[in-house]
Copies of this chain bind each other. A is one copy, B any other.
């Protein structure tokens, strides 16, 4: 089922999931392609970014961003081509970074669109290494984590969009990078391709012991993007004056209830106190939007110099987005997950 120039397929939120998203969560509509009015452009989606934060948007629990309304198009970052234009700023054929969501076509008045270069093959980088995930890794690690030369930085989902960059930026800063990933293949990639000092498989029965062994001098920066059992294993290894930027908690996103006791909330407070730890949540564009230019310049330079590698996990077909999102929440992707909605 590929893109049809006459029809717009779009996924709307049908029902909020309880636990993992399921067959009732989204509904695929098939509608006529809309027509741009004066000042508008028609965008045709080429790439759709899938990211862990999307699970939060499906829920109406209090959060930093409003939930997707029932019946509304599911949100998401996109690379699109201008297909028809009644806006002189965006000529037909222009590639743009935008936020069209889970659909083939979208209208826009141009606000929030960023123009991209002509190379379709390179354009998906704007959703990954040069986009939100890269910016998240860069600011969280450097502004909150502040790794110093010789310190140990630990990050989970180490083969993923954010984690892979956290470790590589840590190495550029002269720190030791220890990754955590699911399975031997990902761990091999993290060490051999990305240059981390070590990578531990969180599925191993002796995971906590292996992590301790890989961090003989303790942990100075833990970049928190998963929570759950990984954080449990990290806690006893944290050094005095450690920093914990909190960018995500993917292990908890599908949880329907708090885990059983004992209640370790006070224990965590006690560790923060006695070890004088700084733990800080951040939402990348809300907290650091004004520094995007700085990030983009530095990351582009590192890419040119070959100092940063990245991997994309490209899934073909908009219709596969719901299943791919579930896979992402379970750690099944290998690299930045992107849906190729159309070939260009």
Contacts and interface: CB of A to CB of B under 8 A. Distances in A.
Nearest to A144: B278
Interface string A251-274: 110010111111111111110111
Contacts of A283: 276
Nearest to A231: B269
A83 interface: no
B263 A264 contact: yes
A249 B269 CA distance: 8
Nearest to A62: B274
B286 A276 contact: yes
Contact of A281 (B266, B274, B281, B286): B274
Given A275-B64, A280-B277, A280-B279, A264 B258 contact: yes
Interface in A188-237: 224, 227-228, 231
Contacts of A240: 64
A278 B280 contact: yes
A247 interface: yes
Q: Which of A224, A261, A270, A275 gathers most chain B CB within 10 Å?
A: A270
Interface in A37-63: 56, 62-63
A276 to B, nearest CB: 5
Interface residues of A, number: 44
B262 A259 contact: yes
Copies in the complex: 2
Interface string A269-301: 110111111111111001100000000000000
A243 to B, nearest CB: 9
Contacts of A255: 266
A282 B247 CA distance: 23
Contacts of A62: 274
Contacts of A258: 261-264, 266-267
Contacts of A249: 266, 269-270, 273
Contacts of A36: none
Contact of A262 (B252, B261, B275): B261
A21 interface: no
A247 B263 CA distance: 21
A269 to B, nearest CB: 6
Q: Which of A249, A258, A261, A263: most chain B CB closer than 10 A?
A: A263
16 contacts: A64-B275, A64-B276, A227-B269, A246-B273, A249-B270, A257-B262, A258-B261, A259-B262, A260-B261, A263-B264, A268-B269, A276-B280, A276-B282, A276-B286, A276-B287, A277-B281
Given A263-B264, A272-B279, A274-B281, 8 more contacts: A227-B266, A248-B273, A257-B262, A261-B261, A265-B268, A272-B281, A276-B287, A278-B280
